[in-house]
Structure 1
Amino acid sequence: MERNTPTFISLTGENSHKIVIPPGQGSFSIGTKNISNGKYDVLVAEGSAINWDVFNEMYTPHGKQNADRSPYGDWPRFFYYSGDDTGFIQWSEKRKIENINWAPIGPMKADFTKANINELSIHATTNPIELILGENINKLYLSGNLANIQIKASPGTTLVQFAPDTSTAADNNYSIPEFPSLNKTVTSVHVDNTVIGTAVDCSSLLQFKNIQSLNLSGNITNLQAIAQLHELEYLGLRTMPDLTGMPALKIWQKLKSFIGWNIEETQGKVLQQELKAILKEKEMGYSSVSKLRKKIWFTTEYGIPFTNWEGKNVKIATKAYKTALKEISKAKGEQEVKQAIVKLIELVNTLPNIETIEREDTGTAVEQLIESSPLNLPQELATKWFDEVRDF
């Protein structure tokens, strides 16, 4: 197909959709009209049957020159689909799908036993999803409300990645639900959590008995539990604000590689020394500890209080907050810190529609700015300066 040229495709009927694909785009996204959030290349009506065979005639320039090797097309390489038509599963039996990111809308039962999909991503919301996976699905990515996903079989899956909606947690910590069918085959586990919010409890990872590779990012708790993963060979910790309970690296006798990146500095410095000692005793694959951060950095970088504001106010307040943060990081005295904070409050004074929630967000911002100061100023100053200057 020609790129950047309008093309009609018979996705749900004869020439039902006009698409324009920019050069170099290897993916194609299909959403359900009036239901799917975000931008998609095409939208289909709810309940419409999708003609997945329409992609049999679609090729990359290279694929077109070698069409005999790809009789069912080779474009797109990746699919993003929000909807309930499961025809892509049967279609994949004759044409391999490199990656499909699927967000079912209603309750779903799907059998992927014969599917030829290398990487399968499933996003769950409020409805139950029941899956039977096959030998060809090597990598599985699960996101959203994981408690609504049930996997009855997964004989070929060796890697699983979790990106949970931790707001569904019943208490302060979030536990990955039990997935018995994954326990024996999975050797690589990734957990991607938000930096600010409910922490994922590492003890819930112990259900995967054969973990050789573990990558954690975001807010994670009960790190001491991973000391029980005796087969661990590769460990990555990225963008983690709290490393409380982190085991000593030397306990993993089979460890071949360790990455600590963008992590809190106190424990990060300990890990640097531990890694240095290990490297004196044995060779390892690429290993490093870098980008050490003060704990407050994660709050100020990822927890900016104004992100839920509306309209132009959010950009104006966020920019002023970041400016104050830079000025405070260089401040040599209390007065300089106060000046930076006062400028932020005075700017918010000029913004329209500042009500209770916005007032509380601004107060939180001032508290964070005080805490970010290298001068160890008392938090009482935040309330004092805030009340002195605000007129909202």
Structure 2
Amino acid sequence: MDKKKFDVLVERESALNWHAFDAYTTPAGSLWPRFFYYYGNDIGFLEWSKKRAIEDFFWQPSKPADINLYAAQIRNLTVRSNNIPVKIALPSGEDNNNLGLRSLSLSGDLENFEILSENANPYIRLYPNVKRDRSVLPYRLPVFKALEKITWVDVVVEPLGQPLDCECLLQFSNLQGLNLTGNLSNVASLKKLEKLESLAIRYAPNLENFPSLNAWDNLKSFIGWNIEEITGKRLKTELKELIKSGKELEYCSVSKLRSSVWFTTEYGIPFTNWESKNAKIATKAYKTALQKIAKGKTENEVKQALVELIETINKLPNIETVEREDTSIAIQQLIEASPVKIQQETANNWFDEVRDF
């Protein structure tokens, strides 16, 4: 966890007295805290929650874990695995009363999760670790046999990272609601999810071969937001036609249509997680390089703009492995935006020649 954000620091193996929070309430009298972020291995919070409801709980264990959510009163539970096996037993649909689990979010290395369930149908959110390289083979979700009956799922990947292969979503054949965020591939397969009533696509730079909105007979709601403009214009037209036809619809919208250049150069600037002063300097240098590259007519002009960016980064303090990778991604994005075609290997050579980090 970011050391600037934690409120209490304990050893990962410490047993915690979760009842220490029992006496605390908000001025209005409701339970406090409502949200917990816990990095550690004490699963006593599950037993505690059977008597004291929790609205949101984020948990990242550091050793293999096996938990049972039967009777746990955690409305929204997020579990993150960083290469750690985690087994989660879900309450059955009959056991999951109004105070129990509403949504389960799994993040990190999803292949390390084992889900046990009998007819459980929580709202599932998936945040898989994907590569930051758009050129690699698309990512496929692991098969979650115990979740095959779920009706709602969200999947979030990076817009400028490894794409999600939408065909892997067909394992959830009962889906009525689907929210997808990020870089997608094989979107044509989504038309096989015949029970869809609600579909939302956000921050998607590539929607080539996306199905017609008429492909889903039960569709009542469609949202396309910050999506690539070519397919987005078609979907906007189709949505207008559906409205004119008198089809019964709930909230629908197609907006913020974006060019491929926007995703690369505006949304995807890779320095946003740096220390604030370094981030500001690097981002300014990135945008300056982009302006020069956009006007460039020769390979040498593009090279000079990249060299100036790298030299600016050279002067910043505390540039380590992660920052080096971010700068490499910035170089890749800039040559993609260049009107002069530059080979990635050539740009990498320039990067290695100039950088001193």
Letter in 1 for 2:56: N
* Contact 1:132–1:154 (8 Å) recurs in 2: no
| Unpaired stretches in structure 1, ≥5 consecutive residues | 1-35, 64-72
Among candidates 126, 130, 145, match of residue 180 of structure 1? 145
Contact 2:26/2:32 (<8 A) preserved = yes
Tell me how far apart the structure 2 counterparts of residues 74 and 309 of structure 1 sit (CA, whole Å). Answer: 35
Whole-angstrom CA distance in 1 between matches of 2:145 and 2:74: 22
Report what 2:61 is aligned to.
104
Distance 1:121 1:181 in 2: 18
Does the C-alpha gap of structure 1 residues 77 and 361 become closer, same or farther in structure 2, counting only changes over 3 Å?
A: closer
Which of 178, 197, 204 matches 1:214?
Answer: 178
1:289 is aligned, of 251, 254, 261, to 254
Shift of the 391–41 alpha-carbon distance from structure 1 to 2, 3 Å rule, reads closer
Match of 1:229 in 2: 193
Paired-residue identity, %: 45
Give, in whole Å, the separation in 2 of the partners of 1:363 and 1:100.
Answer: 35
In 2 relative to 1, CA 347–190 (structure 1 residues): closer, same or farther, beyond 3 Å? closer
Post-superposition shift, 1:84? 0.7
Deviations 1:233-270 (A, max 9, x none): 11100001110221111111111111101011111111
- TM-score of the aligned structures, taking structure 1 as reference length: 0.75
Q: How many residues align?
A: 336
Equivalent residue letter for 1:238: R
Matched residue SS, 1:90: helix
Partner of 1:41: 7
CA shift at 1:353, angstroms?
6.6
For 2:72 and 2:332, the matched residues in 1 are separated by 53
Counterpart Cα distance in 2 of 1:132 and 1:279: 43
Separation of aligned partners in 1, 2:165 and 2:125:
15
Partner in structure 1 of residue 264 of structure 2: 299
- Counterpart selection for 1:261 from 221, 225, 228: 225
- Tell me, yes or no, if the aligned pair for 2:293 and 2:305 is still in contact at 8 Å: no
- Largest Rg, 1 or 2: 1
Please give the TM-score of this superposition, normalised by the length of structure 2. 0.81
Partner SS, residue 42 of structure 1: coil
Indicate the residue corresponding to 1:318 in structure 2: 283
RMSD (Å), alpha carbons: 3.5
In the alignment, is residue 238 of structure 1 matched against residue 202 of structure 2?
yes
Q: Which amino acid aligns with 1:117?
A: I
Counterpart in the other structure of 1:15 = none
CA contact (8 A) 1:141 1:162 kept: yes
Q: Which runs of 5+ in 2 are unaligned?
A: none
Larger RCO: 1 or 2 (CA < 8 Å, sep 6+): 2
The residue aligned with 1:122 is 79
Distance (Å, rounded) in 1 between the aligned partners of 2:53 and 2:277: 46
**Are 1:370 and 1:379, in contact at CA under 8 Å, matched by a contact in 2?**
yes
Cα distance in 2 between the residues matched to 1:364 and 1:181: 38
Q: Which amino acid aligns with 2:341?
A: Q
- Distance in 2 (CA, whole Å) between partners of 1:103 and 1:353 is 36
Offset at 1:56?
0.9
Distance (whole Å) between structure 1 residues aligned to residue 343 and residue 336 of structure 2: 10
Could you tell me whether the CA contact under 8 Å between 2:57 and 2:77 is conserved in 1? Answer: yes
SS of 2:89's equivalent?
strand
Post-superposition shift, 1:345? 3.7
Distance 1:209 1:294, change over 3 A: same
